């Protein structure tokens, strides 16, 4: 088989409707839109309109609360940090800028939060915005230390 033998299955593609190309085409003049009215005009969208009854998006109950000034943290797991230490991309003292520069975290967002998934064996000094209790215990167990800069520690 060659590239020039490739074809779509029969019936897989359709020719586009050529609307408004004269009376012989069957889609001339009004172009299959009927006569007059909002739907026959261009640039009209009647998406959420339900003919006077209460629209579904208003009938359904709204729940919860979205905090407008909520902080979102970039998340780093201990296992990934250990992988980067083994690969030589991170050293003994690990800060948020080093995590971004090494490529472990794409961007800092409102800070970086350390979570305890995976295992760490290197004694590393880690400085982050937030850390879980399990992550702090695991790093200290390996002989390192975690410094939490913000008051986001739980």
Locate the domains of the chain by residue range: 74-148
Residue 7 has pLDDT above 50, yes or no: yes
> Taking CA 107 as the corner, what is the angle to CA 105 and CA 112, rounded to the nearest 5 degrees?
70
CATH class of 74-148: alpha beta
pLDDT in tens, 58-105: 999 999 998 999 999 999 999 999 999 999 888 878 899 999 999 999
Grade residue 153 by pLDDT with cuts at 50, 70 and 90.
very low
| Residue 117 CB neighbour total at 10 angstroms | 14
Strand partners of residue 76? 114
d(C-alpha 83, C-alpha 94), whole Å: 13
Residue 43 has pLDDT above 90, yes or no: no
Torsion of CA 29, 30, 36, 40, to 10 degrees: -140
pLDDT score, position 151: 56
Mean pLDDT value of segment 116-139: 91
């Amino acid at each position: 088989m060659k590239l020039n033998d490739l074809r779509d299955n029969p019936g897989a593609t359709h020719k586009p409707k050529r609307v408004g190309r004269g009376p012989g085409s069957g889609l001339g003049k009004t172009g299959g839109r009927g006569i007059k009215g909002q739907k026959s005009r261009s640039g009209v969208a009647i998406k959420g309109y339900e003919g006077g009854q209460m629209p579904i998006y208003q009938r359904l109950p709204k729940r919860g609360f979205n905090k407008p000034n909520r902080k979102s943290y970039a998340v780093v797991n201990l296992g990934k940090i250990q992988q980067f230490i083994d690969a030589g991309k991170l050293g003994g003292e690990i800060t948020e800028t080093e995590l971004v520069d090494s490529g472990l975290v794409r961007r800092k967002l409102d800070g970086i939060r350390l979570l305890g998934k995976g295992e760490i064996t290197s004694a590393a000094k880690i400085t982050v915005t937030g850390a879980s209790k399990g992550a702090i215990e695991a790093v200290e167990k390996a002989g390192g230390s975690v410094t939490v800069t913000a008051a986001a520690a739980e």
